[in-house]
Amino acid sequence: MSGKLYVVPTPVGNLKDMTFRAIEILQSVDLILAEDTRTSGKLLKHFEIATPQRSYHKFNEHKILAQLISQLETGAQFALISDAGTPAISDPGYLIVHEAINHQISVETLPGATAFVPALVNSGLPNNKFVFEGFLPVKKGRQTRLTFLQDENRTMIFYESPHKLQKTLKDFITYFGADRQAAISREISKLYEENINGNLTTLLQHFEEKKPKGEFVIVVGGKKE
């Protein structure tokens, strides 16, 4: 009898964003697959969850996937979590969900925290239609992707790290224009959360004067039709 894979979102910052149901699932499964067991260990300790963990990340997911699927097929119940937010959204998760479905193993994804939704709503930019781009390619394919997005008329959402933020904003100015409206959300739900709105030039100037720190979501308005 097949087991079940639960995909469980965890807070992107404030631990109070953890849901009661997420805690219940993490307490009841046989094993928690965690992106970084050290990071997740702090979360589990806070909520007094004693379930065993196993590392599951982009460097080992291909190697251990067959074993995990085999265990699920024989009745095991696993919960998949990432360091923050919803697994598979710019984090490991797609591969095991895909394989579980291919092997007719039940998969259930809980609703919960993800960084791009509050950033999109906070931006004040149109959110009835949008495209999630996640992290841009660092080198190979970056120019090709940005060229493709020049004609995108939906709101675009990107993730970026602090040490690449200024470069990305400069690239956006080059490809989308200095006056393109955008917004940046930093450290969502944490103590030093910051949300900034303006055109790309204004946003770049802000972070040239203030050293970027934390994790960033960049929301860029689409091309005007």
What is the tens place of the pLDDT at every residue in 167-197? 999 999 999 999 999 999 999 999 889 999 9
Given a cut of 80, whether residue 1 has pLDDT beyond it is no
- Average pLDDT on 64-92 reads 96
Q: What is the DSSP letter of 35?
A: S
Give the span between the Cα atoms of 85 and 91, in whole angstroms: 9
Domain with CATH 3.40.1010.10 in the chain: 4-109
Given a cut of 80, whether residue 124 has pLDDT beyond it is yes
**C-alpha closest to that of 87 among 16, 32, 31, 162:** 32
Q: What percentage of residues in the chain have a pLDDT greater than 90?
A: 95
Give the span between the Cα atoms of 124 and 126, in whole angstroms: 7
Helix (H, G, I), strand (E, B) or coil at 166: helix
pLDDT computed for residue 225 by the predictor: 79
Domain with CATH 3.30.950.10 in the chain: 116-220
pLDDT computed for residue 74 by the predictor: 96
- Rounded to two decimals, the pTM is 0.91
The CATH number of 116-220 is: 3.30.950.10
Given a cut of 90, whether residue 60 has pLDDT beyond it is yes
Q: What is the DSSP letter of 48?
A: T
Topology of domain 4-109 in CATH is: Cobalt-precorrin-4 Transmethylase; domain 1 (3.40.1010)
